[in-house]
Structure 1
Amino acid sequence: MMASTLSLALFLFQQDTSAATPPPSSSSAIVEMVHNSGPVAFTVLVILLIASIFSWAIMLTKWKSFNRAQTQGQRFIRAFRKSSRLSEIAAVAEQFKPSPLVSVFSEIHDEYQRQNGGRGLPRNPVALERAAQTASSESLTTMESHMTWLATIAAIAPFIGLFGTVWGIIDAFHGLGTEGAATLRAVAPGISEALITTAAGLVVAIPAVIGYNQLTARLREFGSRMDDFGRELLNAIENAAMLTPPSQQQSQAEEQRRRGF
């Protein structure tokens, strides 16, 4: 009777001790899985970590530069619409340089100056339109730098994780063959490698896809704004030329003929 009582007390004490022991947290479990990963799975995780850091650096840098370009563009538009002379805008355009609208204005203004000194109707309006399109294309090309890397990371990160998944499954089957029995101890390491690399690939790819789509939408918005501003600037040049007195226009035309234009 005494022995059974001591056995029951010892059993209850062991149960209380095991209940008092806190279960391992999910973060410590992930750290343990990464620590116990094989060389192939660890290499996959390192590659995905580098890709994630690079993609986040691109996204944060682009987002900051796009915000600065948008802010300066709004200020430049307000200054342009308040001014009545292109020479005044050309003098202060460098202050708004991060904005791609400044490049469009500079190209059109320079072409206008080459044609007839920045006075009167432009002799070749099509050349002004081509100058605006060229400036818009060059600005968008500059703003799109490194975007292909972001798209590449978003596309290949799941496949890199999938490679780790396949290798983990192969390792699990190899463990089954080594142990000779379908036990959890035999397949657990390979399955954990497969799961952790799959999750890592998704963690890298999902933010890259979202960031690429958002930045691409903002690039399309910048392109539309540059096209609209180019047309607005051409209209302003034509309207200003129409307001020039006829006598002044005639003298300008005679001067152009005298110069051989």
Structure 2
Amino acid sequence: MSFDNAYEALTEDNDARWAFGTGFADPLAGLDTTVPSGLDAAELARSCLWLGDDALIMSHRLQEWVAAAPELEDEVALANIGLDLLGQARLLLARAAKADPSIVPSVAQSDEDALAFFRDAADFHNVRLVELEGGDFAVSMARLLVFSTWRLALLQRLVDSPDQVLAAIAAKGIKELTYHRDYAARWVVRLGDGTELSHERMQAGIDAVWPYVDELFDDDASLREEFDAVIAQVMTAGTLKQPPVRPAAQTRYLEPLLAEMQSVARAHPDATW
């Protein structure tokens, strides 16, 4: 369908959705969302919810670079990476809600919107890595490299999930995350093997995110070997050093992040695009 202007596309229907640019009201429309026999529905919902939370919060952090990236090309790239993750979040949160409707807050919104905008910080289950403030560009590239390398390895295993919906989400996400990882790796190498100043800042970025790496493997240590091999290759090319292991501090970033992200939806819960 063609439109005379962009606003007609946004207002084609009276769909109460908050995720701009997704183009569909129900991300799982037409799919059989019955939980396969032998799978625990609550456990499936938990896995999808946690994966969705990681993608949602990371997406928000990446969108903070819009109008702030060093080059227009990178602003567009980071916005698109953020939208990829937002799409993953929608699919995963919707799958979680279909598997276990009891997790959805009782508000007049679609399932994924209710989970994204009407849960408090204590009800989110994302890894702490995605909560961190972006800092400078080097910190954000270090985090994106770590996050996308870990998540890509994770989704590569989930394509064999007995839940066909989760398997399909993972297969789609693999293609996206391969680009995310490669984009971040190119920047880490470019900055690490650049000038003395860029090297110092890139090493500082790695140092800043490294305390949050171990948490990524709490549920599946089998991913660590693959992750370490990729990171070691990138660090070697960028003349960077892997920091020593040190404990990660609790962050105080999630509550203010959610206050910003959820503000419009909570102030106008009955609004429509």
**Is TM-score (shorter-chain normalized) higher than 0.5?**
no
Structure whose CA Rg is larger: 1
Q: Which has the higher helix share?
A: 1
Question: What's the TM-score once normalised by structure 2's chain length?
Answer: 0.30
Question: What's the TM-score once normalised by structure 1's chain length?
Answer: 0.31
Greater RCO structure (CA 8 Å; 6+ sep): 1
